Structure 1
Amino acid sequence: MSIGTGVVLFVIGAILTFAVNVEVEWVNLDLVGYILMGAGVVVFLIGLVLLARRRRADTVTHTTVDPTVGERTTRQSSSSNDAASDI
């Protein structure tokens, strides 16, 4: 959702900066457009970072030796932070 929000903010800012040629006395629309484009880039990058963190998977391996038999036992546990695994 934040990636889409970043794109929308950037597009609205670009429209205000480059496509709208209206002079308003109480606000500079070019400056507002540049601010919105900057905010859109920041929100887009934060969305990418959060998406990358969410898809990370951790794998832990435990190896133990049973003292009575002398067998080596290996257990692997894997946890994924994917959104589909939370369901």
Structure 2
Amino acid sequence: MGIGGSILLIVVGAIMTFGLDDTDVGPFNLDTIGWILQLAGLVGLALTLYFWNSRRRTVVSAAPPPPPAAGTVIPPSADEVIERRTRRY
């Protein structure tokens, strides 16, 4: 639905609930329809923001080096750097 569609539902629901004087059109009550549209817009907005927020968390880490060949001894080095990157927006 997206943020724009959710805000549109909220606005149309608010107009139907608070802006119209004649609340009954045939078998339909416009106040009830307006509240339902506002609730659907709020749920859609919350879901959109939740999924956008969860999509932005990424962690990039370097793959460990392959194990040395059999019988090879590699001395530990003080120059090794372990790098962990995180994206922050």
Query: Counterparts of 1:31 and 1:63 in 2: how far apart (Å)?
Result: 59
Tell me the CA shift for residue 3 of structure 1.
Answer: 1.4
Query: Counterparts of 1:36 and 1:61 in 2: how far apart (Å)?
Result: 47
Query: Counterparts of 1:37 and 1:14 in 2: how far apart (Å)?
Result: 7
Residue 70 of structure 1 aligns with which residue?
Answer: 75
Query: Counterparts of 1:49 and 1:35 in 2: how far apart (Å)?
Result: 21
Amino acid at match of 1:36: L
Structure 2: segments with no counterpart, 5+ residues: none
- SS of 1:50's partner is helix
Tell me the CA shift for residue 78 of structure 1.
Answer: 5.8
Amino acid at match of 1:33: G
Q: Does the CA-based 8 Å contact 1:62-1:74 persist in structure 2? A: no
Query: Counterparts of 2:63 and 2:81 in 1: how far apart (Å)?
Result: 6
Query: Counterparts of 1:50 and 1:19 in 2: how far apart (Å)?
Result: 32
Identity %: 30
Tell me the CA shift for residue 36 of structure 1.
Answer: 0.2
Query: Counterparts of 1:63 and 1:28 in 2: how far apart (Å)?
Result: 64
Backbone CA RMSD of aligned residues: 2.9
Q: Going by fraction, where is helix more abundant, 1 or 2? A: 1
Q: Which has the larger radius of gyration?
A: 2
Query: Counterparts of 2:86 and 2:19 in 1: how far apart (Å)?
Result: 48
- SS of 2:25's partner is coil
Q: Does the CA-based 8 Å contact 1:16-1:30 persist in structure 2? A: yes
Alignment of 1:1-87 (within 5 A): 2-22=2-22, 23-62=24-63, 67-71=72-76, 76=83
- SS of 1:48's partner is helix
Query: Counterparts of 1:61 and 1:33 in 2: how far apart (Å)?
Result: 52
